């Protein structure tokens, strides 16, 4: 079944665009069928349910959905670890 991934940042301008593209590539390479929903942090609640939330800003709220920081896609540090964490959530 198609998985829904929310990718959110402060303004849905720069960082979530980068992160969303990385997630699309990652899932394509691993044959995981996903639907990306790129939005602002403030719009997360109204776009649930989802299988995974990836954000490039700090989110304190618990949406009851696995949440992974997409910061490594911006800083370039720890990218592989983050990719593995994303695959672990989406693969089953």
Partner 1 sequence: MIWEELNSALIFTDLDATNNADVLEKVGAALIKEDYAKDTYVEALLKREAEFPTGLDVDGVGVAIPHTDVSHVKVPGVAIAVLKNPVDFIQMGSDDDKVSVSIVFMLAVVNPQAHLEKLQRILAIIQDSEVLKNIKSVKSSDEIIGLIKNKENTL
Binding site for partner 1 (CB under 8 A): 9-15, 17-18, 21, 41, 55-58, 69, 71, 74-77
Check 8, 9, 20, 36 and give the catalytic one. 9
Q: Nearest distance from residue 2's CB to partner 1, in Å?
A: 21
Does 27 participate in catalysis according to the annotation? no
Contact 82, 72 (CB under 8 A): yes
How near is the Cβ of 54 to partner 1 at its closest, in Å?
12
DSSP 8-state assignment for residue 44: T
CA nearest 34: which of 21, 45, 18?
21
How far apart, in whole angstroms, are the C-alpha atoms of residue 34 and residue 18? 16
Question: What are the residue numbers of the active site?
Answer: 9
């Amino acid at each position: 079944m198609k998985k829904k991934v929310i990718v959110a940042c402060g303004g849905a301008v720069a960082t979530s665009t980068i992160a969303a593209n990385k997630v699309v590539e990652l899932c394509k390479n691993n044959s995981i069928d996903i639907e990306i929903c790129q939005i602002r942090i403030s719009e997360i609640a109204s776009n649930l349910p989802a299988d995974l939330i990836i954000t490039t800003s700090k989110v304190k709220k618990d949406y009851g959905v696995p949440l992974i920081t997409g910061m490594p896609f911006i800083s370039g540090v720890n990218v592989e670890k983050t990719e593995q964490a994303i695959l672990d959530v989406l693969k089953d």
